[in-house]
Structure 1
Amino acid sequence: MFGDDADLRNAILEEFANSATPYMTELDAAIARKSAEGVKSLAHKLKSSSRTVGAQALGDLCEALENSAPNADWHGINTQELALKSELERVLDYIRSLC
């Protein structure tokens, strides 16, 4: 994805890491408020940036959450959020190991 340019790769991955954590904080707040629109919007943002950096599994979890939000199934959304947090932490650990 980044060719041989380690500096570019690191810059992009660091930007993802720096933005993903605030998105997750905002997502937690949207879920606490039971804001289906907020959950959908934030899951969409995180999905796009995840897929951009090659974190496909994280992007897939975000997409599932984005698709669940309009149904306002808060039990399901809470379960998906736990899986998303776990995968995000795995991705962030991997990024930290590279940068």
Structure 2
Amino acid sequence: MDAAPQSATAGVPALPAAAIGQAIGVEDFDQAAELLARHQHQLVVALAGVDLNTADRAPWLQLLTEHRGLMGQLRAARDTAAMELARLDAGRRGANAWLRALK
């Protein structure tokens, strides 16, 4: 009975979602991007051997949905980090201007 779900996902590379999520969580965006890039390479290799005209597309579409979700998380985390860095830089510039005014 378990053979059908296993065969439906056979050949679909497992997305390292937990590792990617953990890298995003600790703001290791380079690691998250590297994990996604490695998975994308595995995906390209796997898709080269699949006839999508006859194969069950459901596992591939599910993987695409999960991949897009992780990409969205990575993008949002990077945007948040970039905004925080910009805010800190503005604060630093303000502090430097204040120090110059005191001299």
TM, length-normalised to structure 1: 0.38
In terms of Rg, which structure is larger? Answer: 2
Q: Say which structure, 1 or 2, has more relative contact order (CA 8 Å, 6+ apart).
A: 2
